[in-house]
Structure 1
């Protein structure tokens, strides 16, 4: 990385020197007849180009890093003016005396200032690009961390369901273990992707609900409705399942009373409307509804769809509502 940066700096400065030389040749082309030969005219332009670039290089590679960047501004200004004056004096005093030195000083002051503007503009662009890359890397790392948190959370809830059926000595337990393995296979495969088809994600939720419905037997009614065209739409994997898990955990699973869970998915144009309503038990156990799953999904929504989602959670007396809208085109 350092070697490439060094090579880029060398090439950039060689390019700047060539450009200044070309500009000097073009600016002096009208007076080429004053010189004995084209070669002497070229040497004149080369001398001016070297002097211009010498002032710029001294400023860029010595004065800025050792004085300006260390906030020694007064010394920096003195040294910049002194270095420009020194180069102007060497260049012009022998031929034109002090008026020539003044004119040459002002010319180099202008060119050095132009070089400084280009230098700070380029450095600012590099810093901005590095900050964007750091933000992107941080965002990716945070999303990976949040996605990895979903895996044990979902597995824990699913194993609880299988354990409950095994204690009841249900003959469906072996089939449900196989069903769980399919769910876990999808989860592991989808976790490697940034997005999955919305159709596949909803099929995953439907299979999870079938597993839970068998475990909860007849004391919970689960409805899952999908309306609209899913074709081509994609979504971040495992983004919706925490809402479903919480509806089961804090609804049917927390009571022996008859309960109900209604989940509806509506697609309008490219907007996903995901609604979950679950009944609440009469006696609410002491628990924190806003657990790891919901906090996780809130954070993921903020990172993945910062300006393209709305999440409204309403805790009513008899039921709990989750209304999520995501624009899947963003």
Structure 2
């Protein structure tokens, strides 16, 4: 990175030198016959270009980093004007003060133009570095959030198996196999940025089948998909926390009859995911806003900033309505 920065600096300054040289030669082209030889004409242009660039380089590599960037503005202005005046005097004193004045204003113009180019380039570099840092931070945060999903889902699933084993259910071995398949999908999807929406919905369906066996007949689960799933993709494990919460804070928290209704609707490129679960008559003192829900909210902010998420905590039911654009980056 350091060598690349040096190469870029050399390249840009060589280009600036060449540009100033061309402009200088063109500016005195009409008076080229006043020079004794073609060589002396080009050497005059070269020397003049070098003279201008030395002042610009002193400003860029000494005055700006050591004075301007450290907010020593008064000293910076004094030294810049001073070096321009000294340069104009050295170059023009052999002719007249009129020439010195012309040189002074010409060097102010060229130095100002160089400064404008310098600050424009630096602004572009700073903006690029800021964007790269934000992107890196976003990737780090997303990876951290994705890593949190695995233990959270496993914890909830193991609780389901534990409940079946306590009931000495003959379906426990089958449920263990189903869980292993769910975990296999989760581990594989965690390595990807996106998965097929079809696969993600199949994962949710299989999870609901597992929970249905554990909850037996005391919970009625409806899972409906409307619209063309097609080849849409979605961030992995993005929808499952809403489903887990519906099970945990609805059917799992009561022995009464309960319901969970999940509707997935695809209209154009918009996915509407609605989860409605009945609430138990006696509400325990547990918080609905768990780790999984906070996690998915943060992922939605990072991945789908234009999403809409409406959560309604009503007297007899709890509703979550999520809408995201599947074509969004």
Same fold (TM over 0.5): yes
Matches within 5 A, 1:265-280: 265-280=264-279
- In structure 1, the residue matched to 2:88 is 88
Q: In the alignment, which residue of structure 2 is the partner of 1:72? A: 72
Q: How does 1:15-94 map to 2 (within 5 A)?
A: 15-94=15-94
Alignment of 1:318 with 2:311, yes or no, is no
In the alignment, structure 1 residue 229 sits paired with structure 2 residue 228: yes
| Cα offset, 1:126, TM superposition | 0.6
Deviations 1:208-229 (A, max 9, x none): 0000000111111111000100
| Per-residue deviation, 1:98 | 1.3
**Where does structure 1 lack aligned partners over 5 or more consecutive residues?**
none
SS, match of residue 318 in structure 2: strand
1: CA distance between counterparts of 2:257 and 2:314?
18
SS at match of 2:281: coil
SS in 1 for 2:308: strand
2:5 corresponding residue in structure 1:
5
2:109 corresponds in structure 1 to 110
Ranges in structure 2 where 5+ consecutive residues have no aligned partner = none
Following TM superposition, where does structure 1 have runs of at least 4 consecutive aligned residues deviating by more than 6 angstroms?
A: none
Q: CA RMSD in A?
A: 0.8
Task: Quote the Cα distance in structure 2 between the aligned partners of 1:87 and 1:166.
Answer: 90
**1:201 matched to which residue of 2?**
200
1:233-312 to structure 2, matched below 5 A, reads 233-307=232-306, 309-312=307-310
Shift of 1:97: 2.1
Mean Cα deviation higher: 291-300 or 113-122: 291-300
SS of structure 1 residue aligned to 2:305: coil
- Tell me the CA shift for residue 170 of structure 1: 1.4
Task: Give the distance between the partners of 1:317 and 1:70, measured in 2 at CA.
Answer: 61
- Residues 85-137 of structure 1, C-alpha deviations (whole Å, 9 max, x = no match): 1111111112x121111111110110000000110111111111111111111
- Indicate the SS of the match to 2:224: strand
Give the distance between the partners of 1:54 and 1:103, measured in 2 at CA.
18
d(CA) in 1 for partners of 2:29 and 2:171? 94
Report how far residue 278 of structure 1 moved.
0.4
Within 5 A, what are the aligned runs for 1:83-232? 83-94=83-94, 96-232=95-231
Structure 2 counterpart SS, 1:313:
strand
Pairs aligned (count):
328
Offset at 1:177?
0.8
Q: How far apart are the structure 2 equivalents of 1:5 and 1:195?
A: 35
Paired residue secondary structure (2:319):
strand
**C-alpha distance in 1, partners of 2:208/2:271?**
20
Helix, strand or coil at the partner of 1:218:
coil
**Whole-angstrom CA distance in 2 between matches of 1:325 and 1:63:** 54
Partners of 1:27 and 1:238 lie apart in 2 by 66
TM-score (norm: length of structure 1): 0.98
Deviation readout 1:197-248 (Å, 9 max, x if unpaired): 1000000000000000001111111110001001111111100000000000
